[in-house]
Amino acid sequence: MDFSVMMSQLGSGMLISVEIFALTLIFSLPLGLFLSFGRMSKNIAVRNVSKVYISVMRGTPLMLQLLVVYFGPYYIFNISIKPSYRFIAVIIGFVLNYAAYFAEIYRGGIESMPVGQYEAARLLGYNKFQTFTKIIMPQVVKRILPSITNEIITLVKDTSLAFSIGVMEMFTTAKAIAASQKNMTAFIAAGIFYYVFNLLVAMVMEHIEKKMNYYH
């Protein structure tokens, strides 16, 4: 196989990996915040449901969760599975999994804030929503950025698990090329792709962290 053809195929696989990465972040970050509220709720039922959900998502393999999301409709509800559902199942599985991890990161950040911050905001006339969005959340984001960055970098590598339900992301493409060519070139190229992607993510997150240095 010509090198340019191989790179083109890997590039197509990388595009799918990037789509999985981006869509997972877009949906899991806000869902994780919502879950963290449930985890800290004064309502015992809501708190326990959130706690169990997070425990299950963090305590079982992501690959297993992808298989359940993909094959579940057929085995449980006898609904026929269309090929187009593969990618949707990947996004659902990744979002549900990563939201659980982000929820615990958010919770740790929010609960670490001193009570005095809330009291000061109340004295200044802020309501609860204003206190959270203008005072608490910016400081929380600053505190949790390193943990969020670690999860995001892990997400880049976890996109390779999409192969478990037949989605041709970059790792699956590299594996197919390597099997047909009987050499390691495709794997090396894929490794470089992943490394550069993670390097860019780390640089962006470091830039954001520096921008938020005025929060102490």
Domains belonging to the chain, first-starting first, are: 3-211 (1.10.3720.10)
Q: State the Cα–Cα distance between residues 60 and 47, nearest whole angstrom.
A: 20
**pLDDT score of 83 more than 90:** no
- What Cα–Cα distance (Å) separates residue 155 from each residue in 33, 52, 177, 204? 18, 22, 23, 15
pLDDT at 123: 86
CA dihedral 61, 62, 64, 67 (to 10 degrees): 180
Q: What is the mean pLDDT of residues 99-111?
A: 96
Mean pLDDT (the chain, rounded): 91
pLDDT at 214: 61
Question: pLDDT tens-digit profile of 16-63?
Answer: 999 999 999 999 999 999 999 999 999 999 999 999 999 999 999 999
Task: Check: CB of residue 10 under 8 Å from CB of residue 173.
Answer: yes
Which structure tokens are listed for 40? 């800290």
Residue 6: HSE in the Cβ half-sphere, 13 Å Cα cutoff:
21
Residue 89's pLDDT band (cuts 50, 70, 90): very high
Residue 145: HSE in the Cβ half-sphere, 13 Å Cα cutoff:
20
**pLDDT score of 1 more than 80:** no
Which structure tokens are listed for 47? 């708190």
Residue 166's pLDDT band (cuts 50, 70, 90): confident
Question: pLDDT tens-digit profile of 136-159?
Answer: 998 899 899 999 999 999 999 999
CA dihedral 47, 53, 59, 60 (to 10 degrees): 180
- The proportion of the chain whose per-residue pLDDT surpasses 90, expressed as a percent, equals 62
Question: pLDDT tens-digit profile of 173-203?
Answer: 888 888 888 888 888 988 999 999 999 999 9
